Amino acid sequence: MKYTKYILASVLLAGAFTACDDDAFLAEKPKTIYVMENAFDKESQVDAAIINCYSKFSQMFMYSGMFGGGDPASSFLHGQGADVLDITGGEPACFGAASNYSAMTTSYGNFNTLWNSLYQLAAYANLAMYGSDQVTWSNESDKAYALAQAKFFRGWAYLRLAECFGGVPIVEEYTTSLKFDYDRSSRAETYQFAIKDLTEAEAALPQYPKQDGRLAKGVAGHYLSEAYLGLGIETSDQSAYQKAISAADAVIKAHPIMTKRFGSRAPEGKQPAGIPDNGVPRVVENGNVFFDLFQIGNLDYSEGNTESLAVVELTTFDNNATNGGFISPYGWTLGPTYRDIIWNDEKTKENQAAGAGGGPWMNNSDPKLFPGGYPAIAGSNSWGIIGATDYSDEYVFREQYAEDDRNDQLNRRDPVVIDSKSPYYLQVVKKEWLAAPARLSRICAKYGAWDLWGFDLAHCSRMGLPYCMQWGRDWFIARSAETMLLRAEAYIRLGDNAKAAEDINAIRQRANCSYMIPEGEINLNTILDERARELAWEEHRWPTLLRMGGAGKNEIMQRQLENFSLYSYDCKSVTGGQKFPAWTLFPIPYTVMQLNDQVNLQQNPGWQSES
């Protein structure tokens, strides 16, 4: 396995380790200037380096945008341009989609951003591990915990690198030396490196979080299962699938999925301390357990959510935040772009004759029914450019799959016309009424608020209610429901469809589905469909699709994207559909190939080199 050393200065605080020509001055190790010799001299400094890892890691699960605080790669990781999500706010809508794969090159910005973000996280982890060896610890258990956290973050970064880019340069040590001759390891070696880190992290982490937001065994075991699954796909090693199942077993045993209503908006729950209700009843009588999973005060294990493995912990209010004080995992990049949706020519004439506005949400809303106007119908997160595809909104809930708590109007709402002068007032908006049908998607209640319960209205004055994010809402990194789907996939790959059906249908039973999928209908496409139902907006969809193939083949991903991406499926009448190109991995970014000029990093198949 090719291990190389990372140039920390290129991705961290380069100025913190600036060289100086005055050897005598450096020998004095002044406390006001941090150099390698004095950057770490106490435990708190190591923890500060680990907090940098937490911050970067969490940001990669928060959608990027003007005010969301997410990493620039996060929206792409979640599937922007894949089969579940896409850019729906471009002009015109279909040609602005990220799923126009023929326009992708090795210079595509999302590839470069993702590569840099993952290596930056690995660099932060390497720095924390370096620091842990420089400090005299008060006890070895604290050092072991620090190392376990750092190893988790590095292992996760390389898992994502292996899934998305295949074999990459493996960097396991901290150095300030400049290098232009990195070599690629194989994809299997990259998975194995991730597995080693995640295994060591899982062994040393506590069973449950020491503090909300901190790592524990569950999330390490979850990604360890995913890494073994990827390794098995790449190498056809059946024992890797069994190891994936064993890792998942331990997670699911410690974190059983929630099957009964619970928490802040359930009848037996209570109002969380410090959460305003704004006169809205706390209890949602027609709620269900899937709804409860995502409510304020319900996401952490400490709050009674046993399936919670890791959560992005968000501050509730910050007077210095540029978005009027609210920190949100969604930013302003989520939800259909209701602001820009307008009637088609026929409906425009019909609505204008009635004195209505140019679109379903533009004018004449009743502030009692829709406080704040159109943003309120999407939980005040409707100013974005990303929307769900027809595949994740409609196709996966077709026919016998329709009766499902995850498909009901509580959890995935169909937006209605709020212009009171429209002849279609309060009717569900139909795509054929709109000038750009592909822009319309349903409102996922994971990010769209059901009502004003939990909003801090007192701090909305800076930008007004329409611009207020939902107050204090955390965001899942991983849940054990996803671990069950990883285990189900491993069972399928071992040929045990009966066991796979048990896991899939346990999740479907929790969602009160009327149709349980029989063993004879279980396949890998079943997994992708069920992940779309259960994990829409949560999972990192591109890594899921990219790891579906190994040894240079990925027919499953190619078929999925050719059939169900927005550009191919939602926009057929405009684009005529498209054939998915031959690549099965993201390319090594063009800028990386340029900078590494002393060794040729062989490009992934299906991508042409750029001059």
Percent of the chain, pLDDT > 70? 83
What is d(CA 202, CA 200) in angstroms, rounded to the nearest whole number?
A: 6
Contact, 556 vs 525, CB < 8 A?
A: yes
For residues 476-485, average pLDDT? 98
Strand 386-388 vs strand 85-87: parallel, antiparallel, or unpaired? antiparallel
Residue 564 in tokens: 């169900």
pLDDT at 321: 39
What is the rounded average pLDDT for all residues in the chain?
86
User: Roughly what angle, to the nearest 10 degrees, separates helices 480-493 and 497-510?
Assistant: 160
What integer pLDDT is reported at residue 556 of this predicted model?
96
Partners of 308 in the beta sheet?
A: 479
Q: What does the chain come to in residues?
A: 611
Strand ranges (E), 122-259? 170-175
Write phi, then psi, for 6 (nearest 5 degrees): -90, 140
CA-based end-to-end distance of the chain: 30
Question: Strand pairing partners for 586?
Answer: none
Using CA atoms, how far apart are residues 194 and 148, in angstroms rounded to an integer?
A: 13
Q: Tell whether the model's pLDDT for residue 550 goes beyond 60.
A: yes
Mean pLDDT across the stretch 562-587? Answer: 88
Please state, in angstroms and as integers, the Cα–Cα distance from residue 606 to each residue in 113, 150, 164, 521, 552, following that order. Answer: 20, 35, 14, 32, 10
Residue 576's CB: how many other CB atoms inside 10 A? 8
Q: What is the 3-state secondary structure (H, E, C) of 18-77?
A: CCCCCHHHHHCCCCCCCCCCCCCCCHHHHHHHHHHHHHHHHHCCCCCCCCCCCCCCHHHH
**Can you tell me the distance from the alpha carbon of 409 to that of 454, in angstroms, rounded to the nearest whole number?**
20
pLDDT over 90 percentage in the chain? 66
> Which tops the pLDDT comparison, 321 or 305?
305
Q: What is the pLDDT of residues 361-385, one digit of tens each?
A: 888 988 777 765 655 554 444 445 7
Using CB atoms within 10 A of its CB, is residue 141 exposed (0-12), middle (13-18) or buried (19+)?
A: exposed
The whole-angstrom separation of Cα 60 and Cα 71 is 5
User: What pLDDT score does 332 carry?
Assistant: 37
The count of other CB atoms within 10 Å of the CB of residue 355 is 12
Cβ(454)–Cβ(473) below 8 Å: yes
Question: Judging by beta carbons within 10 Å of its beta carbon (0-12, 13-18, 19+), is residue 497 exposed, middle or buried?
Answer: buried
In the prediction, which pLDDT does 468 show? 52
pLDDT score for 319: 35
Per-residue pLDDT of 142-193, as tens digits, reads 999 999 999 999 999 999 999 999 999 999 998 777 788 999 999 999 999 9
pLDDT tens digits, residue range 218-261?
999 999 999 999 999 999 999 999 999 999 999 999 999 999 99
Cis peptide preceding 336, ω within 30 of 0: no
Alpha carbon distance 565, 390 (integer Å): 9
Q: How confident is the model at residue 65 (pLDDT cuts 50, 70, 90)?
A: low
HSE-CB at 47 with a 13 A cutoff on CA atoms is 8
Q: Which residue has the tokens 């910050």?
A: 318
The crossing angle, in degrees rounded to 10, of helices 555-564 and 524-535 is 50
186, 235 in Cβ contact below 8 A?
no
The two three-digit tokens of residue 263, written as one number: 């928490």
H helix intervals, 377-496: 390-393, 480-493
Q: What tens digit of pLDDT does each residue of 380-409 get? A: 444 457 889 999 999 999 999 999 999 999
List residues bridging with 312 in a β-sheet. Answer: 475
pLDDT reading at 17 higher than 50: no
Write the burial class of residue 608 (CB in 10 Å: 0-12 exposed, 13-18 middle, 19+ buried).
exposed
The angle formed by the CA atoms of residues 334, 336 and 338, to the nearest 5 degrees, is 120
Place of tokens 């002849």: 423
Comparing CA positions, the residue from 551, 559, 592 lying closest to residue 234 is 551
Question: Is the CB of residue 309 less than 8 Å from the CB of residue 478?
Answer: yes
208 burial level (CB within 10 Å; 0-12, 13-18, 19+): middle
Tokens representing 414 are 């169909």
% helix, strand, coil for the chain, step of 5: 45, 5, 50
Is 26 within 8 Å of 19 (Cβ atoms)?
A: no
Q: Tokens 């049908």 belong to which residue?
A: 437
Question: What's residue 314's pLDDT?
Answer: 77
The pLDDT assigned to 496 comes to 98
As a whole number of angstroms, the distance between CA 327 and CA 311 comes to 15
Rounded CA-CA distance 580/584 in Å is 10
More confident residue, 302 or 454: 302
Q: Give the closest residue to 195 by CA, choosing from 242, 171, 230, 165.
A: 230
Write the DSSP symbol of residue 524.
Answer: H
Distance CA 44, CA 32 (A): 17
Q: What is the pLDDT of residues 326-360, one digit of tens each?
A: 444 444 344 555 667 899 999 999 999 999 999 99
**What does the alpha-carbon distance between residue 225 and residue 202 come to, in Å, rounded to a whole number?**
11
Burial of 248 (0-12, 13-18, 19+ CB in 10 A): buried
Q: Over 90: is that where the pLDDT of 45 sits?
A: yes
- Per-residue tokens: 100: 């126009």
What are the CA-CA distances from residue 261 to residues 251, 413, 443, 459 (Å)? 22, 20, 22, 31
